Amino acid sequence: MKIQAINGFKDILPENVLLWQHIEKKAREVFQRFGLREIRIPILEKTELFVRSIGEATDVVEKEMYTFPEAGLTMRPEATAGIMRAFIEHGLHVQQPIQRLYAIGPMFRHERPQKGRQRQFHQLDTEIIGSVDPQIDAELISMGQMLLDELGITTSLEINSIGCSQCRPPYRQKLVSFLESRHDDLCEDCKRRTYTNPLRVLDCKKSTCREIAKDAPSLLEEVCDNCKGHFNQVQASLDRMGITYTLNRFMVRGLDYYTQTTFEFLTDDLGAQSAVGAGGRYDGLIEQLGGPALPGIGFAMGMERLALLLEQQNNRPHMDSEMDLFLAALGPQSMDYCETLVHKLRKKGIRAAMDYSGRSLKAQMKQANRFKASFTLIIGDNELLEQTGIIRNMSTQEQQPIGLDTNTDQLSNVLAEIVR
């Protein structure tokens, strides 16, 4: 019996890894432009970290976590909690009042696998910690937008404010009363959510619940003056930068730690999955985890969804050749000669390959093509005797003679010049 990968856990094969590397490279480049530094945090953390930050009554904590109950450990379902734990543990705020961080890596959630939804998936995660300034919110959003733009991915941006610890509790009360008045029409999940996490009813996907949500009191209208002012300034900043967005008063986000600004980058091109990235402010989170009372804001983008969109929106980047030079050796002496040559070229940083099985020239040229080699050097034992090989430019098909020296020193220099 063949052993196969488990459901929701996927291999990323070499052709696709190129696409992933392209996304990661672009992300690092853009994040660094905004002063973010990379942080690498563990995959396994104490379960309590996620329960205390994400919230007990959220889908993630209630039903999506991969937990080892006896050990009290959980595989991270997202990165923010771990980054905040590390931030507090190492007192990063002492070093620098505003910390700008990013992390890239796998996350784990036990949900039903479908296109763009896996159990092991990967996120690009960004955080700016230490400032309540609304311009920081806009700056972070602009960074997400810039990354998507530069990848050539088209999305729409929706924003909302979900208030703070001052204005959300009274709103929540109002919302619960409203939901109770429509209790019988809610789906089973939302009947329960009315008491555990009423805000989530607002973004339930069921059409009946959506109809009810339309009549619900709007949080955007009920937030306090401070939150309103903050949100207005975020919008003013986005306007100044020419970033287009729409207000979505039903967007509440799935994690409890969010306050004030929340946002999502959305697409219609991924079937049931609409969010490519999402984030928001989390002003009470660090304190709640036993750290200093510092605010923060961040977002996460799903790598699988970015990769799918790049392919689907026909923006698969052109991949460079994977090999600078292929050495086609035809005959036992030339094989030994090429072995030395390939070794010297690699030491010079040239990507070089050869075949040791003494196959025909035709077969070896095929192999050079499979490698997407930029050049091929053809050497048979006769050429070796006459000290002249043939170098072929694989894209123009041009061929030229090239002198062969006995100890390959000079030739390796000449070849390095040609293929660089």
CB of 264: closest distance to ligand ATP in angstroms?
7
Task: Indicate which single residue of 82, 277, 284, 295 sits in contact with ligand ATP (rule: CB under 6 A).
Answer: 277
Instruction: Verify binding: residue 389, ligand ATP, rule CB under 6 A.
Output: no
Instruction: Verify binding: residue 381, ligand ATP, rule CB under 6 A.
Output: no
Q: What does the block give as tokens for 346?
A: 């690699």
- Among all residues, whose Cβ is closest to ligand ATP? 302
CB of 238: closest distance to ligand ATP in angstroms?
19
How far is residue 299's CA from residue 198's CA, in Å, rounded to a whole number?
A: 23
How far is residue 199's CA from residue 204's CA, in Å, rounded to a whole number?
A: 9
How far is residue 273's CA from residue 121's CA, in Å, rounded to a whole number?
A: 14
CB of 258: closest distance to ligand ATP in angstroms?
10
Binding mask 165-204 for ligand ATP (x = CB under 6 A): ----------------------------------------
The DSSP output letter for 25 is H
Binding mask 84-123 for ligand ATP (x = CB under 6 A): -------------------------x-x----xxx--x-x
CB of 7: closest distance to ligand ATP in angstroms?
12
CB of 270: closest distance to ligand ATP in angstroms?
9
Instruction: Verify binding: residue 61, ligand ATP, rule CB under 6 A.
Output: no
Using CB under 6 A, count the residues that bind ligand ATP. Answer: 19
CB of 301: closest distance to ligand ATP in angstroms?
6
Number of H helices, E strands in the chain: 17, 16
CB of 105: closest distance to ligand ATP in angstroms?
12
What residues numbered 244-273 form the site for ligand ATP, per CB under 6 A? 254, 273
Sign of CA dihedral 242, 248, 249, 252: negative
* DSSP per residue, 106-149: EEE-----BTTB-SEEEEEEEEEES---HHHHHHHHHHHHHHHH
Instruction: Verify binding: residue 302, ligand ATP, rule CB under 6 A.
Output: yes
How far is residue 42's CA from residue 27's CA, in Å, rounded to a whole number?
A: 21
Inter-CA distances, 410 with 332, 352, 354, 399, 401, Å: 22, 17, 19, 20, 15
What's the maximum distance between 2 C-alpha atoms anywhere in the chain?
Answer: 95
CB of 117: closest distance to ligand ATP in angstroms?
4
SS3 283: coil
CB of 343: closest distance to ligand ATP in angstroms?
43
Picking from 63, 8, 27, the residue whose alpha carbon sits closest to that of residue 276 is: 27
How far is residue 306's CA from residue 258's CA, in Å, rounded to a whole number?
A: 24
What residues numbered 66-85 form the site for ligand ATP, per CB under 6 A? 78
CB of 152: closest distance to ligand ATP in angstroms?
17
The beta-carbon contacts of 335-341 under 8 Å, at least 24 apart in sequence, are: 337/379, 337/384, 337/404, 337/408, 338/377, 338/379, 340/408, 341/377, 341/408, 341/411, 341/412, 341/415
Picking from 185, 163, 153, the residue whose alpha carbon sits closest to that of residue 313 is: 153
DSSP β-ladder status, 399-403 and 388-393? antiparallel
Select 39 or 124, whichever has its Cβ closest to ligand ATP: 124
Instruction: Verify binding: residue 230, ligand ATP, rule CB under 6 A.
Output: no
Select 102 or 121, whichever has its Cβ closest to ligand ATP: 121
Instruction: Verify binding: residue 392, ligand ATP, rule CB under 6 A.
Output: no
What residues numbered 122-161 form the site for ligand ATP, per CB under 6 A? 123
How far is residue 399's CA from residue 413's CA, in Å, rounded to a whole number?
A: 19
Select 138 or 301, whichever has its Cβ closest to ligand ATP: 301
Select 270 or 329, whichever has its Cβ closest to ligand ATP: 270
Picking from 175, 156, 131, the residue whose alpha carbon sits closest to that of residue 270 is: 156
Select 256 or 283, whichever has its Cβ closest to ligand ATP: 256
How far is residue 294's CA from residue 162's CA, in Å, rounded to a whole number?
A: 18
CB of 336: closest distance to ligand ATP in angstroms?
51
Task: Indicate which single residue of 201, 219, 276, 345 sits in contact with ligand ATP (rule: CB under 6 A).
Answer: 276
Task: Indicate which single residue of 275, 350, 377, 419 sits in contact with ligand ATP (rule: CB under 6 A).
Answer: 275
Query: Which of the ranges 156-164, 276-284, 312-320, 338-346 carries the binding residues for ligand ATP, by CB under 6 A?
Result: 276-284
Q: Which residues bind ligand ATP (CB under 6 A)?
A: 78, 109, 111, 116-118, 121, 123, 254, 273, 275-278, 300-302, 304-305
